[in-house]
Amino acid sequence: MSWYLRSVDEVLRYLGEVQRREEARIAYRINMNAGATPRLFRLWPKQPARPRLSAEYQGQRRCVAEYDDGENLTLRVLALTTQLLNLQKSASEVPSAGTLRLVR
């Protein structure tokens, strides 16, 4: 297993690429330990069977399906992305700490 650090901007660009693949009808699935292969991220152009939320994007309505760990992880990905954006915002608002001096 490898970890690669990415900026929030790079994460959002990656999700955009995943969505473009989905729009080209190339399902982007990931392998889970339990043998499931859910879609990582998908914004539906039409209302899915189990819709959770929808939003207007570039003049079109996009829907997100209900969370299903065996089929669709979009809600989890959106929650993580929101947390990353909030952390980035918080980090830019907090001034950096000065030197901490310990005295015995």
The answer to the question of residue 40 being in a domain is: yes
User: Domain range for residue 26?
Assistant: 8-85
pLDDT tens digit at each of 104 positions of the chain: 777 778 888 888 988 899 889 889 998 888 877 777 888 888 888 888 888 989 887 788 989 988 887 788 888 888 888 888 888 887 777 565 555 555 55
- Write down the pLDDT at residue 99: 56
What are residue 55's phi and psi, to 5 degrees? -150, 155
The answer to the question of residue 23 being in a domain is: yes
The answer to the question of residue 15 being in a domain is: yes
The answer to the question of residue 103 being in a domain is: no
- Tell me the whole-structure pTM to 2 decimals: 0.70
The answer to the question of residue 26 being in a domain is: yes
User: How many separate domains does the chain show?
Assistant: 1
